[in-house]
Structure 1
């Protein structure tokens, strides 16, 4: 089988140390496909690309190898944009969470450019305003569930199809359920404003993502969506670190 060179615009996801100062790096290409490459000597101080493999960095990367090879050789990697902000712990933790999630969802041989557009927008927002990193994370979680087909539209109740009554419950079987058809203890019901917060998540761009801790409804929605995503993907160590070091919404 013929070996070939492929060049992509891509976002760095997970760099993993390899023998002799190398790295095995997963990338999300501009087409939304996950590719993995071996960068030999990338961790050596003299390496020309020593700073090119930061998570969520936008790079121009070249791969050499057979088309069907699981791991190709990285021949070049030029950093074009990085969301990392020195000294901002919260933003760095969110970068790790986003890289972890997208590394789990993206697939080799499967293209979905919506993944690239979403992650690229989030990375740029983190760079422009790292103080809003938790809002960016909640925004990404909402849209990731949507792209995975796991988040019903909140416009209509999943049980009765109504669109006027307040939402009071989220279930695995029916999605968002409203007060008109779903009896629920008021102490356990979703807070007022839940539907409105979900509308903001769906209609605003990443740069204007609503504050996940700005209201009781926002906090409830953030918890529900984050729990759903973590159950679906499982084993997200980056989220465990985030919970230990950052006050939850």
Structure 2
């Protein structure tokens, strides 16, 4: 047998669970490999290699084998880059990060890399850790995330007539169709609809095209936050065909 080759990856911890008396099964999202699940042997007893490093949302540099044939990777070591302590100590930020974690796990597969998703995850966790408002961070993350996975909502023109946004028009986002309709093309047959104001639509469109480094400069009014979060929640449930469990935690705060 050929020896397993090891790789070094920047990674974010998305899940961690016990395995036996001393091991941990950890799921990371890696910069170049995408989602990777591996076993950290002896991690619960480790006083050097893994101590205080495998917490949820932590940013690490890990040494690991590349998983093959649906087998677990072997996690040989980890270097803590950022524990995102503030994120984990603020309940609103933690609840927001939990939604992001759940959606990322739902939408990705093992060793399915995406060069855009890792920077987006780093941006949103860094934003939450730096105590920026969690709701705009979640909204901007979701609109970019859905675009990255190939399900970007159609927000620039009416699905019915194809006309671009009009300043004097009211639009409804139709969840099943994944886009907006103007008042003329809106139909009562679409039971799941969300009203989106001009300000909300323009903010979301800007967020899709803005460089990550400038996203924190965008502002969302209270009304736009409510509109955007409501339709993005419903749209996510439609895409994944299931409830997003972590969302209830955020709503109850």
1:208 has 2:212 as partner: no
The answer as to whether partners of 2:12 and 2:57 remain within 8 angstroms in 1 is yes
Counterpart residue number, 2:80: 79
Of 72-81 and 104-113, the range deviating more from structure 2: 104-113
Distance 1:45 1:109 in 2: 27
Counterpart residue number, 2:24: 23
1:89-100 aligned within 5 A: 89-100=91-102
The answer as to whether partners of 2:178 and 2:235 remain within 8 angstroms in 1 is no
The answer as to whether partners of 1:12 and 1:58 remain within 8 angstroms in 2 is yes
**Superposition deviation, residue 124 in structure 1:** 1.5
Counterpart residue number, 1:138: 139
Distance 2:127 2:178 in 1: 33
1:27-106 aligned within 5 A: 27-31=28-32, 33-44=34-45, 46-64=47-65, 67-85=68-86, 87-106=89-108
Counterpart residue number, 2:191: none
The answer as to whether partners of 1:60 and 1:80 remain within 8 angstroms in 2 is yes
Q: Judging changes above 3 Å, is the alpha-carbon distance between structure 1 residues 29 and 189 closer, same or farther for their aligned structure 2 residues?
A: closer
**Superposition deviation, residue 174 in structure 1:** 5.8
**Superposition deviation, residue 75 in structure 1:** 0.3
Counterpart residue number, 1:170: 173
Q: Judging changes above 3 Å, is the alpha-carbon distance between structure 1 residues 75 and 198 closer, same or farther for their aligned structure 2 residues?
A: same
Distance 1:6 1:174 in 2: 39
Counterpart residue number, 1:108: 110
Show CA shifts across 1:11-57 (max 9, x none).
11111122113211111111251111111232337354221112222
The answer as to whether partners of 1:11 and 1:56 remain within 8 angstroms in 2 is yes
Structure 1: runs of 5+ lacking an equivalent:
none
Counterpart residue number, 1:237: 245
Structure 2: runs of 5+ lacking an equivalent:
189-193
Q: Judging changes above 3 Å, is the alpha-carbon distance between structure 1 residues 206 and 26 closer, same or farther for their aligned structure 2 residues?
A: farther
Of 110-119 and 60-69, the range deviating more from structure 2: 60-69
**Superposition deviation, residue 69 in structure 1:** 4.8
The alignment yields a C-alpha RMSD, in angstroms, of 2.6
Distance 1:235 1:44 in 2: 36
Of 157-166 and 66-75, the range deviating more from structure 2: 66-75
Distance 1:154 1:65 in 2: 39
Counterpart residue number, 1:156: 157
**Superposition deviation, residue 167 in structure 1:** 4.2
The answer as to whether partners of 1:32 and 1:106 remain within 8 angstroms in 2 is no
The answer as to whether partners of 2:171 and 2:181 remain within 8 angstroms in 1 is yes
1:221 has 2:233 as partner: no
TM-score where L is the length of structure 2: 0.83
Counterpart residue number, 2:201: 195
TM-score where L is the length of structure 1: 0.84
